[in-house]
Amino acid sequence: MSFKNVDSAQIENLLSNLTLEEKISLLAGKNFWETVDFPEKGVPSVKTSDGPNGARGATFKGGVTAACFPASCLLASTWDLEAAKNIGNALADETRSKGARVILAPTVCPHRHPLGGRNFESFSEDPFLAGKLAAQYIHGLQENGVAATIKHYAVNEQETCRFTVDEHVAERALREIYLKPFEIAIKEAKPLAVMTAYNIVNGTHADSHEFLLKDVLRGQWGWDGLVMSDWGGTNSTADSLNAGLDLEMPGPTRWRKVDEVVAAVKAGAVSEKTIDNRARKVLEFLAKLNCFEDPSIPDERAIILPEHQRLIRSVGSQGIVLLKNDAGILPLKKEGLAKKKVALLGFAREALIHGGGSASVNAHYRVTPEEGLRAALGDTVEFSYAKGAHTFRQLPLMGEGVVNRDGQSGWTLDFFDAEEPNGEPVSSSSSELPTYMPLFVKESWGSLRATGRFTPTQSGNHYLAMSGLGRSKILVDGKVVYEQKENCPDSMAFLLGGVKEPENQYSFEAGTTYTIEIETMKPTGSGGLSLLEGIIGFRLGFMTEKDHNRDLLSEAVEVAKGCDLAIVFTGHTPDWETEGQDQVSFHLPSNGSQDRLVAAVGAVNANTVVVNCTGVAVAMPWLDKVKAVVQAWFPGQEAGNAIADVLTGAANPAGRLPMSFPRKLEDAPAHGNFPGEFVEKDGNRQLHVNYEEGVFVGYRHYDRSEENRSKILFPFGYGLSYTTFTHVNHQARVTGDNSIEVTVDVTNAGTCAGAEVVQVYAGTKLAVPENPVKELVGFAKVHLEPGETKTTSITFNARQLAHFSEQSGTWELQSGDYEVTIGQSVRDITGTVTVGLGAQSYDP
């Protein structure tokens, strides 16, 4: 399946038949997911769907189920281009099953800092690895007839204040690190769409950035697809149109109201030619997707395809990284565990399959680690379970035991025009939901009161926690027990469940009925609310004193004591690792509870294995207290099976880290410049971030000195196997087209089949302080049977060794000797070859 060639005459004929007002209407969405159509003029609509690890469909929470694929951080850990393409192929099937022809993926922004909230849905700290995998992911999508939307262009490396943060980055670092994955993927795979970022780049919003959109994307890179905004990420009328933003999403428009754009045209702020150019891109996009011949938008369907299930399980296991395996405790063999007792602790009964936000889906199903291990090891093993740690970020929604004014389960909602909910309500309704998050109501309402009557079944100082988009209060029997006096500081964190709500204790007596009220106001002023501007929303959580204060740790320790083996499953739920908010801590949540669990279990059980499901590097203060550590990332709906495959040896771990794991947060190269500092600007406080580390991101920083290298817990590219590999006969030669061909003989010297990732790095032999010592320039995944040897060949172009000169505005390759290093990680080098190269200059 391929895209249609654009019939330029057809497009120009359509343009000529549209009025100026109709062309303007095409430049913003019709609704949250679809573009504007004019059936009477022959202009269809197209539907988009969120990604990148599943096609969710139109419903943000719940809705039609969808396949949940491994997160991109895991996909990057496979270092497998074919796997990335296969995932793209399958995601295209899923996208069409949701009536869409466009998926908002992949995310390619580099991992600048371990606390980046959205790192999990991007690939790597290394722009070359990210770009190469993204290119194949895009090929897989688009050869199967679905448009990819590469995002977020550009410099979107944090979630804190993401709508308004101003990120200052020098052009060299911008070119070599932050634009590079986009450049590689766009040039190699030609995605049909690019999505701009929310943030400001060097003083200009990304959606209005002429240098990024005109000069680089469409000029130097020669790309000619559709540029759309992130949802709510349009920040101007004339500037965004002039810079090259074709489509404002979602609809209805906020910035491109027809009368306002017409006025801008009449005033000379925007030309009619510019409107034509923007509308032409929208029409060409529709034509490529065959929308003119087939304008239908089918109903959403849930399709569970066996081939997708197998792919998700296979790729999930391929991307899992074995970080530690003392005394060969892994793999767990069924015969060796016969009649043994195994403790399953932590998240063993929860499948951590994805992060939070637009990458989350209502999965077809979720295989937990316990289910995967029981299926793999059968009844010969006696399993015991304990949770072991409190890991909630927000108290569970309050609903059980609450009735409305009519005595029905739920709440009574009273709406008011005024900013305060006083007097008689203008409108009232009832809700069976425990609370709304957010409550999307007509924007003219000024405030809301939710009332419920609550009869507890236990006595005690129970816990209440609330957050609102605007000023809000909790009242119990008319008494204010908590007040939020300002707007929510982060509206997207509120929407996506990442707001840490202050917990308040209140003494309840079992059997007594209490009236609980939430008063919440429409947000006032401009607080970076974006999509949620003017919307009323609140959330109310509740937990009994008994559940809140239960000693889970002691229970887990007792279970672990009585078992032959303990497997502790740690990680981040979607509430903790989510779009809309950066990580709270480098340590596993909450408040050290998981670290205490691992340390305590390791102290009483000498055979402790940790399986960690996060999309980022985390602190491991307990590393020397456990036998093995497995980094499982977010493996998708087959999580439990993929993890069990690796733990039991059904799959030999072949994942390699796509980012560095520092020992401490302070060791990260962006430390001190993340998430930035607030400065006064035009009477307002604005977050500014200086990318002072320049090009020295990730391993490029740690490679600079032995002191830096000592600060790494696990290096970039690292990963263990159940077999061993050797590299011999390292060679490199310069070919006629100024490429460097590298060959190495790789042997599986162990006793089981496995896959090695051969990594090639290169840099000048004579160190240049302003340049990285070496950078990844090529890689290959090699599958080998025991005793088998294969000659692996990797070719890269000398241009990859050039650095951007801000003085000349070109890429410059220095003349001299270069060291080509071949290894099993950036640290574990098996051989080095020197090649000589002449000076070269390349246009951007």
| 762 and 796 Cβ atoms separated by less than 8 Å | yes
Largest CA distance in the chain: 86
Distances (CA, A) of 720 to 66, 82, 96, 504, 628: 33, 21, 38, 46, 11
The CB density around residue 422, as the number of other CB atoms within 10 Å, is: 11
- Residue 206 CA to residue 405 CA, distance in Å, equals 49
Q: How many CA atoms lie within 13 A of 234 on its CB side?
A: 29
Instruction: Provide the sign of the torsion angle of the four alpha carbons 414, 418, 422, 424, taken in this order.
Output: negative
Tokens of 437: 């998050």
Among residues 50, 126, 207, 230, the one annotated as catalytic is 230
Return the DSSP state at 223. -
Which backbone phi and psi does 139 adopt, to 5 degrees? -55, -45
Type of residue at 310: R
Return the DSSP state at 834. E
- Residue 359 CA to residue 578 CA, distance in Å, equals 9
Mapping DSSP to helix (H, G, I), strand (E, B) and coil, where does residue 375 land?
helix
Instruction: Pinpoint the alpha helices (H) of 289-407.
Output: 306-319, 369-377
* Catalytic annotation present for 417: no
Tokens of 571: 């990680």
| 90 and 308 Cβ atoms separated by less than 8 Å | yes
Q: Which of 439, 435, 424, 419 is nearest to 521 (CA)?
A: 419
| 529 and 487 Cβ atoms separated by less than 8 Å | yes
DSSP 109-162: ----STT-TTGGGS--S-HHHHHHHHHHHHHHHHTTT-EEEEEEETT----TTT
Tokens of 680: 């006064």
The CB density around residue 51, as the number of other CB atoms within 10 Å, is: 30
Mapping DSSP to helix (H, G, I), strand (E, B) and coil, where does residue 494 land?
helix
The catalytic residue positions are: 230
